[in-house]
Structure 1
Amino acid sequence: MPKNAAGNDPLAPVTLAVGPEELLVDRVVGAVIAAARAADPDTDVRDVPPGGLQPGSLDELTSPSLFAERKVIVVRAAQDCGSDVVKELKAYVASPAEGTVLVLAHAGGAKGKALLDAARKAGAREVACAKLTKPAERLAFVKAEFRTAGRSATEDACRALLDSVGSDLRELASACSQLAADTEGTIDEAVVATYYTGRAESTGFQVADLAVAGRTAEALGQLRWALAVGEKPTGIVYALASGVRAIGRVATADRGMRPADLARELGMPPWKIDRVRQQMRGWTGDGVARALSALAEADAAVKGAGGDPAYALERAVVAVAGQARGRR
């Protein structure tokens, strides 16, 4: 495969997804799989987790099938592969198997650079998946999300969404998708405020603050008032999910980082990090996972899968509060 022959073809024999932004990596992988299945619905997809590729297993994964179906092999965290596996990957990218698409997800940087260099020299298709660290980059991302959804959003609306949601691309993408699905007409600042800021009397974020602190009765009371004054159920679910995710992100962050550096890394103002640290006492990793699972069910319910959005929200609040301070 001569250098640069792959162009932007998602069915190129080898695709490099280079960078640490997981959402963008997942989208590259998703686009490759979608293109492969469009060409062959029986495409065999093997998504190898970090550390899952062992010496000799690449030959097995890429060997021709008796049924001659197309294959997609995804190797996560390729920069962490051992030397024997890297040697096999370097040999493979130089002469990829016909009918097989290999996706190498690589964080970039110096670690594992020899594999990147070998794939690039062989002409692999490369897609950048870098972190969007500049405000202008994140603003462009939000605008692109709305364009992709076929919706028009004002500049002020996009900025307001960034102010309300923060810098996490998954949360931004989810917010854009929610607004695109649940609203009509041009998305302006008022629409964003309705979903992600709420009314002064009682907002979804106030409900979330009480729930993640384990204050069940108060959270339920605030929830009922929020619904009474017109807060959108979808906005409340989003606020609850944001609160739980914030706990997970702060809990797993490097505790040795300076407060200012940590704030930049997580895309949160320092005051919010301090508040989350107070809220996270007693939470566990399993508790975060269980709370997010309950919120996923609530999100589906308030979007039509359930008959009573208010009841679904009450159950979600109880579930979140029940995980706080180590309670089950």
Structure 2
Amino acid sequence: MTNPFVVPGGVLGGHGPLRPWEIAEQDDYYAPVDNTQCSFEEFKTALGGGASLAAKGRTVLVSGGGGCGKTSLMHRCAHWLKQSGGPKATIFDLTEDGLDGADTPSRIRHVCGRLVDELELDGSLDEVPLTGLQERRDDPSKAFPYLSKIFQKSQRAAVVLLPPSEVFEEVARYAELARKNILLLAETSYPTVADTCRARLGPGTASQVLVLEVGMLHPGDGWRLVADRYARAGAELPEISEDTMLTFMEKRIAGTRGTTIHELQMVLQEVFEEAAGKERLDYADFADYYLRKARLL
């Protein structure tokens, strides 16, 4: 029996972000939980389609706690932009670049160098513009305007998914560097970074940053995810009632001050896998799962 909580292209026990621009089957696997849908709609409204990037570069910051779906939302936004018309979007995924401990200038130079390397690898640039980029790779203030001109000339757009940011100054610097035909998608787990962006880089400012939020799950989100995944399965599966999921979510949220989409997907995958031969899953199955985990610690 196929586990309905393993997404297409994923594996049991795997809980990485959805990447619909790489795995087409994941395109509609976003469930309307943890404010993700509202933030996605806000992004679409603000961008107004890919054509808007030809008029102005943009910087977007996705804010939320660990496991709340920030990176998945970034991938969703990038995928939508790639399909929405306007300049042909090229996506650069740097979200897994480990830059812990590096200062802001070093982190931004790293991103700049990685963009040059990726463009060299994909073979899309002629020798002259590529050489020009390579000469500027250590100076973002020169490299980004040059990259913008290259992409404008070729009627393309660069969509850059950045490594997580810990300080406001880094996001502000990205906002200064964004140029026509460039979209920079950043993420942070620090509320103060998002709050400062809203206060200092809000609408009407020269280097505006669009701040999107994802968050902890609400009690009803558990059932919404189960109903969504079961509807896709199209097969006879062990019954899970709405009351069971509501009880589980309420107790989990009360006991831990919240739970995330990452944790919920992990729990559902493993509880379902352990339910072989059962006709029904109830709250006791979820409680037993956490008891077993506690004994292993």
**TM-score normalised by the chain length of structure 1:** 0.43
**Structure possessing the higher relative contact order (Cα contacts under 8 Å, 6 or more residues apart):** 2
Judging by fraction of residues, say which structure has more helix.
1
The structure with the largest alpha-carbon Rg is 1
